[in-house]
Structure 1
């Protein structure tokens, strides 16, 4: 006996439109909706808009971009557990490379892998931070670099030194109404 079409068998007949066409239409509508959203918020604060979009999709805020390093220097000669070193050559180097106001200096304090810890706390991270802060304080005190152009980092367990790297950080912001 051959299968006859009955009113109950209409669901088995293939649809007139392909499934991919419906999916494409949905995707196109979502894209149009996104562009309408961007156009509607054109005058809004872009940082807040992008933060809201990132939050809505569960994405964390991006990390700040580090300046691209173009020159490096290193302060060696630290005694174990000490944050004091001769910084005369480092200050002269920083004063020379920081003449360009578009640069920033990243100061990374570090400690030796073993036995190089802060004597009061026993922490290598605190000693690394103390070394970086000591170099930064010397640069600011000698007016070699403005404090707003310094970035401090630590790297405990690397080597008994402080590394300085100067990098291009972008053009400084001009005050409002300043015609350059």
Structure 2
């Protein structure tokens, strides 16, 4: 009969795995905390280089905001989010403007700042400005696939302005 040596007492294998996972989690939190106030593009470039990846040559500097070139607007009655008048003209203008893939349309809703130009349900000027921007965006969305919405911070006119901006050539990734 063969006698095997008595096994020595050891730690369970799951304890080693748990310790590894805990150290990875602590390392992840340390990385997040250390990079919280850094430039995101520089961090991504550093991580990519650290793992042996090729540098990203598609962006050499942070993206500039698009340059505004033209604008059209829809007007509204006080307290209303339904555009007055020529919505067909605005839709046709948006269709023509959005035909160029290098442009972006931005809809900015605003209020006139008076006590009567607020959302009837919430009594909020910001909600009315957002509703105006949303209504015009819904009107021109089928004609303009590249569309963003903004709300004017300062009181101005009872409008939703559609701004055409040159965003540059589309980036083609290999």
TM-score of Structure 1 vs Structure 2, range by shorter chain: 0.5 to 0.7
After TM superposition, the score normalised by the length of structure 2 is 0.60
Unmatched 5+ residue regions in structure 1?
1-36, 48-61
The alignment status of 1:84 with 2:82, answered yes or no, reads yes
Residue 97 of structure 1 corresponds to which residue in structure 2? 97
CA apart distance, 1:103: 0.5
Q: Deviations over 1:46-73 (max 9, x none)?
A: 68xxxxxxxxxxxxxx7x6431011111
**Larger proportion of helix:** 1
Residue 135 of structure 1 corresponds to which residue in structure 2? 136
Moved more, 150-159 or 117-126: 150-159
- Taking structure 1 as reference, are residues 83 and 45 closer, same or farther at Cα in structure 2, changes over 3 Å only? farther
Residue 108 of structure 1 corresponds to which residue in structure 2? 108
After TM superposition, the score normalised by the length of structure 1 is 0.58
Residue 153 of structure 1 corresponds to which residue in structure 2? 150
SS at match of 2:137: helix
Distance 2:148 2:55 in 1: 26
- Taking structure 1 as reference, are residues 166 and 119 closer, same or farther at Cα in structure 2, changes over 3 Å only? same
Query: What does 1:10-25 align with in structure 2 at a 5 Å threshold?
Result: none
CA apart distance, 1:174: 3.7
Unmatched 5+ residue regions in structure 2?
1-44, 57-61
- Taking structure 1 as reference, are residues 130 and 65 closer, same or farther at Cα in structure 2, changes over 3 Å only? farther
Instruction: Kindly report the root-mean-square deviation, in angstroms, between the aligned alpha carbons of the 2 structures.
Output: 2.6
Residue 118 of structure 1 corresponds to which residue in structure 2? 119
Distance 1:124 1:44 in 2: 49
Distance 2:134 2:49 in 1: 43
Distance 2:125 2:170 in 1: 35
Distance 2:151 2:118 in 1: 13
